[in-house]
Amino acid sequence: TAALIAVGGYGRGLLFPHSDVDLLLLLESEPDTEVTARLERMIGLFWDIGLDVGHSVRTVRECQEESAKDVTVQTNLLEARKLAGSAKVFELLLSSLHDTLDRRAFLQAKLLEQQQRHARFHDTAYNLEPNLKESPGGLRDLQTVLWISQALKLGGTWKELVTESLITAQEARQIQRNEQYLQGLRIRLHYLAKRREDRLLFDYQTSLAGQLGFKNQKNRSASELLMQRYYRTAKAVSLMNEILLQNLGARLRT
C-alpha cells in the first residue's frame, strides 16, 4: 500500500517557474524488489517528462524517525498533501506526526534556523543583490511564521492568524500585499534568468524595473526605484516576522 505525497513548496501549492517538484513516495511497509523496480521506473518517468523532481521513498515509520532527527524533514511533512494512492497510509502519516511533534522544540529549532540564515545573508535586508527567498525580509521569513503557526495548531494562512487574534485583518492584508510583491519578483526573475535564480542580481534589476513600470527619473534610475520598493517591502516583512514570532512564543507559553 502506498501514496504519492506532495511536500515542500509543492505541498503548500506554491511552485515557481523553476522550482523543484518535491515528492514523497510513502509506503506502509518496506518495499520488496518488485515494488522498488516500479518506483524507480516512476521516478525515471517524472524526469523524462521534464520535471525537476526532488524525491524520497519512505515508510510511515521512517518518516517518523527522520522528522524526529531533522527539523527540515518535519517542516516538509507539515505541508504534506496527498496526490494519489492510499488515504489510509496518508492518514497514518498525519496522525504519527501529530502524536510525536514537540511544539516547543520545533519553535526553538525554527528560530535558530532563521537566526543562522539571517547571519549567512549578512543579517541585513539592505544587500545590494538580495535573495528574495532567503535574505532577511524575504519569503522564507513569512513561511517560517506560518510553519510555526501550523505546528502550534493556530492555522496555516494569514486569515487563520486573524481568527486567532495574532494579527488584525488590516495587518493580514498588508502581509499578503508584501508576500505577493516578493512572489511576483521571484516569478519574473526565474523567467528572466531561464533557471532557478532567487537573487536580485544587477544583471536583472534594470529589466525587472522596466517590466514593473519604473522609469528613470532626473536623480534616480528605474533600477534604484525598484530596489527602494524592495527594501521597503523587506523592512515591513522583517517587522511582522519579529512581532509574530514573539506573539507565537507567548501563545505557546500560555
Whether 35 has a pLDDT exceeding 90, the answer reads: no
Residue type, 139: L
Which pLDDT belongs to residue 254? Answer: 77
Element (H, E) at 53: strand 53-59
Beta-bridge partners for 27:
2, 59
Q: Output DSSP code: residue 17.
A: T
How do residues 160-187 score in pLDDT, each as one tens digit?
999 999 999 999 999 999 999 999 999 9
DSSP, collapsed to helix, strand or coil, labels residue 176 as helix
Which pLDDT belongs to residue 124? Answer: 59
R_g of the chain computed on alpha carbons: 20
Residue type, 148: I
pTM of the predicted protein model: 0.91
How do residues 69-107 score in pLDDT, each as one tens digit?
888 889 989 999 999 999 999 999 999 888 888 999 999
